Amino acid sequence: MAETSPAAPAAPRPGDRARAGGGGRRSLGWTAALPLLLFVGLAFGVPALALLAGAFTSEGAPSTANLTRSLQGAYLTALIGSVKLSALVAVVGAVLGTFLAQAVVTSPLRRLRDGVLTASGVLANFGGVPLAFAWIATLGNSGVLTTRLGLDAYGWSLYSFWGLALVYLYFSVPLMVLVVVPALDGLRPQWREAAQNNGATTWQFWRHVGIPVLTPALLGGVVLLFGGAFAAYATAAAMVGTVVPLVTLQIADALTGNVLIGYENVALALSFDMVVVAGLVMAIHLPLQRRSARWLR
Residues in region 71-90 near other proteins by CB under 8 A: none
Q: Looking at 66-74, 183-191, 213-221, 246-254, which segment touches other proteins (CB under 8 A)?
A: 246-254
- When binding is defined by CB under 8 A, the residue of 39, 162, 191, 295 that contacts other proteins is 39
State the Cα–Cα distance between residues 176 and 120, nearest whole angstrom: 9
Return the number of the residue (47 or 212) whose C-beta is nearest other proteins: 47
For the CB of residue 51, give the shortest distance to other proteins in the complex, in Å.
4
- When binding is defined by CB under 8 A, the residue of 107, 185, 287, 295 that contacts other proteins is 107
The secondary structure element, H or E, covering residue 62 is strand 61-62
Interface of this chain with other proteins, residues 203 to 222, rule: CB under 8 A: none
Interface of this chain with other proteins, residues 7 to 26, rule: CB under 8 A: 9, 25-26
State the Cα–Cα distance between residues 85 and 80, nearest whole angstrom: 9
State the Cα–Cα distance between residues 178 and 221, nearest whole angstrom: 9
Instruction: Please name the amino acid found at residue 188.
Output: R
For the CB of residue 139, give the shortest distance to other proteins in the complex, in Å.
8
Largest CA distance in the chain: 88
Interaction mask 45-74, other proteins, x per CB under 8 A: -xxx-xx--x--------------------
Pair 90, 138: CB distance under 8 Å: no
State the Cα–Cα distance between residues 191 and 212, nearest whole angstrom: 13
Q: Looking at 61-69, 70-78, 135-143, 149-157, which segment touches other proteins (CB under 8 A)?
A: 135-143
- When asked if residue 149 is in the footprint of other proteins (CB under 8 A), the reply is no
State the Cα–Cα distance between residues 2 and 198, nearest whole angstrom: 51
State the Cα–Cα distance between residues 215 and 233, nearest whole angstrom: 29
Q: Looking at 66-74, 91-99, 182-190, 211-219, which segment touches other proteins (CB under 8 A)?
A: 91-99
- When asked if residue 134 is in the footprint of other proteins (CB under 8 A), the reply is yes
- When asked if residue 172 is in the footprint of other proteins (CB under 8 A), the reply is no
Q: Give me the half-sphere count of Cα atoms (radius 13 Å) on the Cβ side of residue 197.
A: 6
Number of residues that bind other proteins (CB under 8 A): 84
Give just the sign of the alpha carbon dihedral 277, 283, 286, 288: negative
Give just the sign of the alpha carbon dihedral 259, 262, 267, 269: negative
For the CB of residue 59, give the shortest distance to other proteins in the complex, in Å.
14
Instruction: Please name the amino acid found at residue 123.
Output: L
Q: Looking at 58-66, 182-190, 215-223, 226-234, which segment touches other proteins (CB under 8 A)?
A: 226-234
- When asked if residue 196 is in the footprint of other proteins (CB under 8 A), the reply is yes
State the Cα–Cα distance between residues 178 and 105, nearest whole angstrom: 11
- When asked if residue 33 is in the footprint of other proteins (CB under 8 A), the reply is yes
Return the number of the residue (197 or 260) whose C-beta is nearest other proteins: 197
